[in-house]
């Protein structure tokens, strides 16, 4: 069993590294805020993350259940329509699409 001082030292090092890794991006963000790359990332990253999430979440349903495929496509269409219709509110659009998908899977 490691000594108490060793464990405290390891925890202090881990805490310092974790804090530094989380603080550095915020410290650099002030300088990068006017960057064209950061502006592009702000536009495209949420879309990319949601697309990856949707593909990974729906992969099992689409490949195994014929009806689930249509339900998923309908829910995706509703998510896109709500997102574009109501001012790009991500929580509202993802919530509406998810709710429709869950209702379709469980009710039909």
Query: Taking the model in full, what pTM does it have?
Result: 0.55
**pLDDT tens string 68-95:** 888 888 998 999 999 999 988 889 998 9
Residues 42 and 93 in one domain: yes
Residues 28 and 71 in one domain: no
Residues 40 and 24 in one domain: no
Q: Tell me 86's DSSP state.
A: T
Domain that holds residue 102: 36-108
Residues 70 and 102 in one domain: yes
Count other C-beta atoms under 10 Å from residue 57's C-beta.
13
Q: Identify the residue whose tokens are 């999430």.
A: 53
Residues 30 and 40 in one domain: no
Residues 40 and 85 in one domain: yes
* Separation CA 82–CA 99 (nearest Å): 12
**pLDDT tens string 25-83:** 888 877 777 888 888 888 888 888 888 887 887 787 777 777 788 888 899 899 999 99
């Amino acid at each position: 069993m490691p000594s108490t001082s060793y464990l405290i030292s390891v925890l202090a090092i881990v805490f310092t590294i974790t804090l530094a890794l989380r603080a550095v991006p915020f410290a650099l963000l002030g300088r990068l805020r006017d960057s064209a790359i950061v502006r592009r990332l702000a536009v495209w990253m949420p879309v990319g993350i949601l697309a990856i999430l949707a593909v990974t979440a729906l992969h099992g349903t689409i490949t195994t259940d014929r009806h689930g495929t249509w339900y998923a496509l309908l829910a995706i269409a509703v998510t896109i329509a709500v997102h574009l219709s109501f001012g790009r509110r991500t929580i509202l659009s993802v919530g509406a699409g998810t709710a429709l998908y869950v209702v379709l899977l469980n009710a039909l």
